[in-house]
Amino acid sequence: MKEDRKKSQKDGCPLAKKCGGCEYQGVSYEKQLEKKQQEVKKWMGSYCKVLPIVGMEQPYHYRNKVHAVFDRLKNGTVVSGIYQEGTHNVVNVDSCLIEDELSDEIICDIRGMLKSFKIKTYDEDTGYGLLRHVLIRRGFTTGQVMVVLVLSSPILPSKNNFVKALRKLHPEISTVVLNVNDKKTSMVLGERNITLYGKGYIEDELCGLTFRISPSSFYQVNPVQTEKLYEAAVHYAHLTGKERVFDAYCGIGTIGMVAAKNAREVIGVELNKDAVRDAITNAKRNNMKNIRFYNDDAGEFMVEMAAKKEKVDVLFMDPPRSGSNEAFLSSAVKLSPERIVYVSCNPETLARDVKYLTKHGYEAKECRPYDMFPFTGHVESAVLLQRRGATPAH
Ligand code: SAH
């Protein structure tokens, strides 16, 4: 293990130590998969069988979303990259083993343009300066690229010339958005978006469907693995075309829309209003008439549905890292779906929620880990839970 790590620092990423983003930098990919398998087994093994993790063939440059924070060193040099772990010092990054390579190039070029456009980087301590972050999202299937310039003010001097110069270097850029973040906050994006060029969003394709993605909407960062994960999740749902399906924490509507092809009706709920707007547009764009989206807290929405004594046949749930909550889970049980498909990016909160469900009438049947985030310590899983007494679909 120590040998492994030493080797990586020599052969792998030179920034691994400072960055801290890749816990498994320098650990062989096979070993990484083994560790993640063990991790999921540790949390989920007592509830159901844990199938072998689905890894990647090419575990590099998989991230379709790249973020860089901008800063100026004492000697005046502009840097862009990541905060050194546990500090506010920015470590300059030219390229990263897990990020999209084109996005990294665009960020370097933006850094190079700042001087001639007299754009100052933002200083976190004093609050002076303009450019805080750059966020790039790329549709790997469509090739569309979105550049989000996060500024402390809505005014970017010579913005048209800046966009023109950037597009000259990278004609593949489809849209440039100015995001205003004027708060003292560690959040990257502010609330206001001003489109400087193009449509203000990009599109990507997943599982044969087209999805529009706005700057602040959640979209899985690893589309290659996401397709495998969604297909497995929908397979677990065992849809025949007759079911009423609920997609909780639905983001831009991805899982629900893949399921809608084989369901009678799908209802999606999501807290982020931009994501819901994207989801509604996405349903129209893909000509889906049997899916509806609601902008609400999933827990509160569930409680209301349970109070109305509504029923659903299948529940998909894909909450953030913190997992779900008791309001949601207790109401989910009242809606008594035959199957619950839980997609999770945190095995610990997954196990906690599965514990609740198994105590309240459900049985975990199977869990499959997916390596969505190679080289990092994170692991995604899909779990099938079946209502006790329901006819098993598998
Ligand atoms: N299923 C989607 C998104 C999963 S990420 C996909 O696969 O792309 C989790 C989503 O839950 C995010 O879009 C986030 O905005 C949303 N979310 C977080 N807390 C929520 C809550 N309390 N109620 C509803 N949605 C919530």
Dist. CA 319 → ligand 1 center (Å): 5
Residue 77: how many other CB atoms lie within 10 Å: 10
Atom of ligand 1 nearest to the CA of 250: 1
392 lines ligand 1 (CB under 6 A): no
320 lines ligand 1 (CB under 6 A): yes
pLDDT at 87: 85
Atom of ligand 1 nearest to the CA of 316: 1
271 lines ligand 1 (CB under 6 A): yes
Q: What is the pLDDT of residues 248-285, one digit of tens each?
A: 999 999 999 999 999 999 999 999 999 999 999 999 99
Instruction: Classify domain 65-209 at the CATH class level.
Output: mainly beta
259 lines ligand 1 (CB under 6 A): no
pLDDT at 11: 57
Render 342-373 in DSSP notation, one character per residue. Answer: EEES-HHHHHHHHHHHHHTTEEEEEEEEE-SS
Name the residue with the closest Cα to ligand 1, atom 3. Answer: 251
220 lines ligand 1 (CB under 6 A): yes
Dist. CA 358 → ligand 1 center (Å): 23
Q: Is 367 a catalytic residue?
A: no
258 lines ligand 1 (CB under 6 A): no
Render 47-97 in DSSP notation, one character per residue. Answer: TSEEPPPB--SS-SS-BSEEEEEEEE-TTS-EEEEEEPTTSSPEEE-S--S
Catalytic residue, chosen from 13, 22, 96, 345, is 345
Please check whether residue 301 is in contact with residue 293, taking contact to mean a CB–CB distance below 8 angstroms.
no
297 lines ligand 1 (CB under 6 A): yes
- pLDDT less than 50: residues of the chain: 1-10
278 lines ligand 1 (CB under 6 A): no
Dist. CA 131 → ligand 1 center (Å): 28
Name the region of 180 (left: φ>0; alpha: ψ -120 to 50; beta: rest).
beta
Atom of ligand 1 nearest to the CA of 219: 8
Please check whether residue 70 is in contact with residue 133, taking contact to mean a CB–CB distance below 8 angstroms.
yes
CA distance 267 to 248: 8
Residue ranges of the alpha helices (H) in 203-343?
A: 223-237, 254-260, 273-285, 298-307, 326-335
CA distance 277 to 213: 10
230 lines ligand 1 (CB under 6 A): no
Give, for 173, the enclosing helix (H) or strand (E).
Answer: strand 173-180
142 lines ligand 1 (CB under 6 A): no
Dist. CA 74 → ligand 1 center (Å): 40
pLDDT at 263: 98
> Would you kindly state where each structural domain of the chain is located, as residue ranges?
29-58+222-387, 65-209
Q: Which residue has the tokens 């397709």?
A: 227
Atom of ligand 1 nearest to the CA of 230: 7
Name the residue with the closest Cα to ligand 1, atom 15. Answer: 272
Beta strand 265-270 pairing with 90-92: unpaired
Dist. CA 219 → ligand 1 center (Å): 10
Render 296-311 in DSSP notation, one character per residue. Answer: S-HHHHHHHHHHTT--
Dist. CA 294 → ligand 1 center (Å): 12
pLDDT at 393: 66
CA distance 393 to 263: 15
CA distance 22 to 167: 31
CA distance 102 to 65: 11
Dist. CA 82 → ligand 1 center (Å): 25
CATH number of 29-58+222-387: 3.40.50.150
pLDDT at 18: 86
> What does pTM read for this prediction?
0.93
